[in-house]
Amino acid sequence: MATFFLWIILFIICWPVAIIALFVYPLVWLLLLPFRLLGFAVGTVLDLVVSIIKLPIRILKGSSAVR
């Protein structure tokens, strides 16, 4: 919503730049999409590695609570 209001303000101030931004924004979004997907994949793999490393500690904590 804020992006839309900023675009309206830009359109009022300088409409040619606003029209160019309207067409360039989707192209930039498409160009950056692979990097966002890569970041998501790397973050997921790092979370998995951290979970595997912490698993023995969680198992030991769980077994001591039963006693």
Cβ distance 18 to 10 under 8 Å?
Answer: yes
> Which residues touch 33 (CB under 8 Å, ≥6 apart)?
none
Q: What is the tens place of the pLDDT at every residue in 1-19? A: 998 999 899 999 999 999 9
Rounded to a whole number of angstroms, the CA Rg of the chain reads 24
Mean pLDDT taken over the chain: 90
**pTM for the full predicted model:** 0.57
Q: What angle do CA 50, 45, 41 make, to 5 degrees?
A: 150
44 phi and psi angles, rounded to 5 deg? -65, -45
**64 pLDDT exceeds 70?**
no
